[in-house]
């Protein structure tokens, strides 16, 4: 039984922390809003009043919050981790944030003999609840091995990608493929449907061949069924693609299809849909075609 910390008890963090509690670890938890405390506390988690208090009591601290500034506030803000951390502890950031900021945070923590891993996840709420997340890890190999038993409680496909920031870079690569494949499926299904062809038969045929993808399987079905309950919200997809495009620009990498996809997300979001599931990207192609799938 280890003393663990968990900060950020949202849609993802709450079930993830729950798996650590269920494995009989002492888990010190903190969240900006108090609601998720009660449920986890009833199961044995130890509620704290600040990130600093979590740091003071824990050897390994997991964070999963929304964006780069949120992680910075948890780590280095008022009553943040930095003031409470003991040398030899490990901070594991499972949020999806900037790879460049991640490397800077790791340096600042290293000055205090604190190790850091970036360990963003893929698999969404269902993956978090069923402990089947993919976890993409950046940081030193020895630190990865130390934290691995806890990752095993939260995920299935757990890969050490490289040095600090490599986990975030991998996650952003993941978001490129996911978003552009959603765009590919949107274009294909609207094309077929406007031509008068049954999109569900097209999906079925394509799943058996070279066009197969998990996105076609899951999001293609959502588009046909008109089911846009998240899942993963457009607003978060936009945040992630913004990180991708900023990081690419800083490196001098041009991503034409990702950029087009982000612009189409901007259109869909701008029409009041930012809380819909990311598969609603298809609205943009439907608007342009003057045709709704299955119409």
Scan for tokens 């274009």, then name that residue: 187
Out of 88, 111, 142, 196, which residue is the one contacting a second copy (CB under 8 A)? 196
Q: Which of residues 12-41 bind a second copy (CB under 8 A)?
A: none
Per-residue contact track with a second copy, 200 to 229, x per CB under 8 A?
-xx-xxx-xxxxxxxxx-x-----------
> Which residue, 79 or 248, has its beta carbon nearer to a second copy?
248
Scan for tokens 């190790």, then name that residue: 115
| Residue of 57, 171, 239, 287 marked catalytic | 171
- Taking the complex as a whole, the smallest distance from the CB of residue 150 to a second copy amounts, in Å, to 18
- Does an H or E element contain 233, and which? none
Task: Give the residue among 177, 222, 163, 194 at the shortest CA–CA distance from 295.
Answer: 194
- Taking the complex as a whole, the smallest distance from the CB of residue 191 to a second copy amounts, in Å, to 6
Burial of 245 (0-12, 13-18, 19+ CB in 10 A): middle
Gap between the Cα atoms of 285 and 190, Å rounded: 7
Q: Which of residues 116-155 bind a second copy (CB under 8 A)?
A: 122-124, 134, 136
- Taking the complex as a whole, the smallest distance from the CB of residue 166 to a second copy amounts, in Å, to 5
- Taking the complex as a whole, the smallest distance from the CB of residue 75 to a second copy amounts, in Å, to 22
Altogether, the residues listed in the chain come to a count of: 295
Q: How far is CA 107 from the centre of its chain?
A: 23
2 binds a second copy (CB under 8 A): no
Q: Which residues pair with 47 in a beta bridge?
A: 29
> Which residue, 22 or 251, has its beta carbon nearer to a second copy?
251
Residues 6 or more apart whose Cβ sits within 8 Å of residue 139: 106, 115, 116, 117, 118, 119, 163, 164, 167
- Taking the complex as a whole, the smallest distance from the CB of residue 57 to a second copy amounts, in Å, to 32
Q: Which of residues 262-281 bind a second copy (CB under 8 A)?
A: 264
Out of 51, 261, 269, 273, which residue is the one contacting a second copy (CB under 8 A)? 261
174 binds a second copy (CB under 8 A): yes
Known catalytic membership, residue 201: no
The conformational region for residue 241 under phi > 0 = left, psi -120 to 50 = alpha, else beta, is: alpha
157 binds a second copy (CB under 8 A): yes
Q: Which two tokens stand for residue 226?
A: 């008109």
Out of 180, 243, 282, 293, which residue is the one contacting a second copy (CB under 8 A)? 180
Out of 87, 88, 252, 272, which residue is the one contacting a second copy (CB under 8 A)? 252
> Which residue, 5 or 220, has its beta carbon nearer to a second copy?
220
Q: Are strands 121-122 and 133-138 parallel, antiparallel or unpaired?
A: antiparallel
Catalytic positions, please? Answer: 171
């Amino acid at each position: 039984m280890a003393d663990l910390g968990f900060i950020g008890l949202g849609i993802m963090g709450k079930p993830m922390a729950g798996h650590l509690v269920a494995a009989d670890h002492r888990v010190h938890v903190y969240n900006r809003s108090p609601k998720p405390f009660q449920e986890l506390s009833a199961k044995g988690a130890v509620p704290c009043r600040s990130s600093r208090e979590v740091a003071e009591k824990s050897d390994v601290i997991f964070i999963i919050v929304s964006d780069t500034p949120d992680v910075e506030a948890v780590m280095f803000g008022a009553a943040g981790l930095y003031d409470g951390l003991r040398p030899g502890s490990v901070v594991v950031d499972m949020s999806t944030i900037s790879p460049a900021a991640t490397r800077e945070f790791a340096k600042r923590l290293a000055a205090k003999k604190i190790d850091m891993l970036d360990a963003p996840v893929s698999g969404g709420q269902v993956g978090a609840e069923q402990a089947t997340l993919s976890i993409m890890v950046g940081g030193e190999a020895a630190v990865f091995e130390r934290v691995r038993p806890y990752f095993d409680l939260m995920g299935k496909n757990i890969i050490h990608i490289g040095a600090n920031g490599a986990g975030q870079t991998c996650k952003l690569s993941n978001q490129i493929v996911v978003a552009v494949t959603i765009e590919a499926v949107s274009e294909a299904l609207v094309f077929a449907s406007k031509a008068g062809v049954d999109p569900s038969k097209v999906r079925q045929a394509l799943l058996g061949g070279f066009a197969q993808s998990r996105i076609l399987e899951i999001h293609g079905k959502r588009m046909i069924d008109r089911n846009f309950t998240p899942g993963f919200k457009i607003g978060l997809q936009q945040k992630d693609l913004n990180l991708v495009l900023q990081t690419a620009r800083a490196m001098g990498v041009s991503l034409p299809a990702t950029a087009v996809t982000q612009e189409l997300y901007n259109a869909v979001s701008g029409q009041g849909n930012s809380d819909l599931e990311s598969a609603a990207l298809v609205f943009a192609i439907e608007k342009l075609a003057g045709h709704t799938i299955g119409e």
